[in-house]
Amino acid sequence: MDIAITRQVSRSIDNCELTFLQREPIDVARARQQHAQYEAALKDLGLAVLSLPEEPDLPDSVFVEDTALVLDECAIITRPGAASRRLETTSIAQVLAAFRELRHIQAPARVDGGDILQLGRCIYVGLTQRSDTNAMEQMQEMLAPLGYEVRAIRVSGCLHLKSAATEVARDVLLLNPAWVDQGVFEGVKIIEIDPSEPHAANALRLGDSAMYSAAFPRTRERLAGSGIHTVIVDADELAKAEGALTCCSLVFGI
């Protein structure tokens, strides 16, 4: 069985960290409605959803992906790049301890889960304003004995690696070539986003389907043309907080 850990939208989300977007008001009630739709879609796809209560004083805490990398063998608790987000890892570590052996990224390293892309036994770590080579090296030391290869990858123009590239099927990446060099990915098929939709590269692969935002119809047509089955949800309110679909859950097998 696969499980998805989620967290309810914080009432303080208007105070979220922003790097590339201009701040605009976030309708908390609408964001919560969209998040509920997201959780319902996870359940419809057969996942057990462990929905955690909101953290009223942690504006970005709905974006649980940034707090951990969960592998079959262990879970790595991250050290988020924004200092305001580091308390988010405490409660996630407590939950994950029931499922996995925990390992921790140590200061002064910084890494957000949104900068970590796993493709089989290869793990790419995006070097961004939120993640650095120190964290990548710590991950390499932890994971090499388990048979994983950890590689650093340069990202520009967006918040996270998963803003620029996500896996939509086995060995198939959806990618924005303006933000990441597709040449660094080996042995995979690339589907480029429609250039008019620069934020369209984030999708959440769940088995034979990919959850995808309704905001990007042109790129969705490209996915359909490549045989990718998409489950469409609305996510534009959380997008105002620089959030995307992968950000809102930690998915792993139990």
Residues with catalytic function: 160, 247
Contacts of 141 (CB under 8 A, 6+ apart): none
The tokens describing 72, both together, are 């079959």
Q: Which residue is listed with tokens 């089955």?
A: 229
- Report the first-to-last Cα separation within the chain, whole angstroms: 6
Rounded to the nearest 5 percent, the helix, strand and coil shares of the chain are: 30, 25, 45
Q: Which residue is listed with tokens 């509920």?
A: 36
Q: Are 124 and 154 in contact (CB under 8 A)?
A: no
- 211 three-state secondary structure: strand
